[in-house]
A = this chain, B = another copy of it.
Amino acid sequence: MRDVVPTVRGPEDALAALRDAAPLTHCVTNAVVTGFTANVLLALGASPAMVDIEGEAGLFAGVADGVLVNLGTPNPQQQASAREIVGATRRWVLDPVAVGVLPVRTALAAELVAAGPAVIRGNASEIAAVAGRGVGGRGVDSTDDPETVHAAAAELAQRTGAVVAVSGAVDLVTDGVRTVRVPGGDPLLTRVTGGGCSLGATIAAFLGVVEPFSAAVAGSLVHKRAAEVAASVSSGPGSFAVAFLDALAGLRPSDLDAARLTTAGDAR
- List residues of A whose CB falls within 8 A of some B CB: 24, 30-36, 38-39, 42-43, 47-56, 59-60, 63, 72-77, 98, 101-105, 138-141, 190-194, 234-239, 241-250
Cβ 8 A contact of A246, one of B31, B139, B237: B237
Q: Is the CB of A47 within 8 A of B238?
A: no
Q: What copy number does this chain have within its complex?
A: 3
Q: A50-B30, A236-B246 are in contact. Are A42 and B103 (CB under 8 A)?
A: no
Q: Is the CB of A193 within 8 A of B103?
A: no
Nearest chain B CB to A244 CB, angstrom units: 7
Query: In the assembly, what is the distance between CA of A35 and CA of B31, in Å?
Result: 8
Known: A236-B247, A239-B245. 19 other contacts (CB 8 A): A35-B193, A35-B194, A39-B238, A39-B241, A42-B192, A43-B191, A48-B139, A50-B73, A52-B73, A52-B75, A53-B105, A59-B102, A60-B139, A236-B249, A236-B250, A237-B245, A238-B249, A239-B246, A241-B245
Say which residue of B34, B47, B54, B102 sits within 8 Å of A139 (CB atoms): B47
A33: chain B residues within 8 A (beta carbon): 35
When chains A and B are docked, how far (Å) is the Cα of A30 from the Cα of B245?
21
A193 adjacent to B72 (CB under 8 Å): no
